[in-house]
Structure 1
């Protein structure tokens, strides 16, 4: 059931407090009781909005992923050529994840944990990301911008080549590497992928 607009400030307060507790204590030590106390309410009231601690933490993660999903939809809907869209979308995914990894590691770890446990909110996020990229690849094939006519092969090329740079689990392995150097390497990989898509040759 959709929540009424009057409930939004309360939910937002709970989420902001939950973010602060995850940053301060870590996800394992953050508790509904502590979050409720700091939010100025009973834990029973928190459960009115989120049925469990897991549900609350999933929403904490989903809330910072939604703007990225919106950017990808906007890019996919744009009038630019498919190869420009694809480059912009892949870099957007990398930059959003990388910034979170560098500036908000506790919340990035929530995303990694959700991926590791295949939680629903992150499965939906991955499906949305993949859907928008698939839409652009299919557009490129249909318009002739991409000579690689096998859509499945084209998508596999994109995701296989980009994996290290857009999958949070892989990105965490590069956490100590300099961000600009990693992005420069990704830009070179994207250029190779686009060349293959446009030529039809790998």
Structure 2
């Protein structure tokens, strides 16, 4: 007889919790599905009743990490805030979540970042989604007359560049004391006001697009 759906989901969560504990205690490298299954009292073959593949397992772990962050982005983009305020909230709300996670368990946070780097192909979609939503906000700003003389790709690249301390988890860990809401407000205002200045228009240069930041 098959397990009820709620039991099935509970065991999926248990397996992810076991993986998280292993990552916390010894790092992200070479996480073994056999060990994860054994920690939950099952064989590796039984593990595949709950996750169809190793990739599906890591996708579920990534989904759990990004769920709250994605909801924040969706809420901000759908809000009636003006674009400048949207960009601030888009970054500030997510950095608050990341900061809380880092302060609660720095070792786990660092290990999760390593896990993401090891399985970049799994999280790429989440990172691209963040870049897409940011482009939507910046596009709204441009529709209101902001950033004259620039195209959207250029503005997105510049925004990624200046937002590194607030969005890139690896940079954030080293700059956690300065990546504050007050400093973020200054950065957002500088971005909007600076790119709107005549001097910035005259001196605009092409920049190499950056990889999107989550």
Measured after TM superposition, the shift of residue 43 of structure 1 is 2.3
Q: TM-score, normalised by structure 1?
A: 0.79
Which of these two proteins has the greater Rg computed from alpha carbons? Answer: 2
Measured after TM superposition, the shift of residue 33 of structure 1 is 3.3
Change (3 A) 1:106 1:98: same
Distance 2:116 2:16 in 1: 20
Q: Does 2:187 align with 1:189?
A: yes
- Secondary structure at the residue paired with 1:79? coil
Contact 1:62–1:121 under 8 Å retained in 2:
no
Structure 1 unaligned regions, length at least 5:
none
- Which residue is 2:95 aligned to? 94
Distance 1:93 1:153 in 2: 23
What number of residue pairs does the alignment pair up?
Answer: 193
Contact 1:147–1:198 under 8 Å retained in 2:
yes
Aligned-residue Cα RMSD (Å) equals 2.7
Q: TM-score, normalised by structure 2?
A: 0.76
- Which residue is 1:76 aligned to? 77
Q: Does 2:172 align with 1:171?
A: yes
1:125-170 Cα deviation digits (max 9, x unpaired): 11010011101111111133x2435222221221111112211222
- Which residue is 1:131 aligned to? 132
Measured after TM superposition, the shift of residue 173 of structure 1 is 3.0
- Which residue is 2:47 aligned to? 46
Contact 2:147–2:192 under 8 Å retained in 1:
no
1:54-110 Cα deviation digits (max 9, x unpaired): 653453233121210121011101111111111100112322222222223344234
Structure 2 unaligned regions, length at least 5:
201-214
Q: Which moved more, 1:81-90 or 1:58-67?
A: 58-67
Measured after TM superposition, the shift of residue 119 of structure 1 is 1.7
Distance 2:45 2:100 in 1: 35
Q: Which moved more, 1:38-47 or 1:154-163?
A: 38-47
Contact 1:27–1:110 under 8 Å retained in 2:
yes
Q: Which moved more, 1:69-78 or 1:104-113?
A: 104-113
Change (3 A) 1:197 1:84: farther
1:25-52 Cα deviation digits (max 9, x unpaired): 3323753333223323222221333322
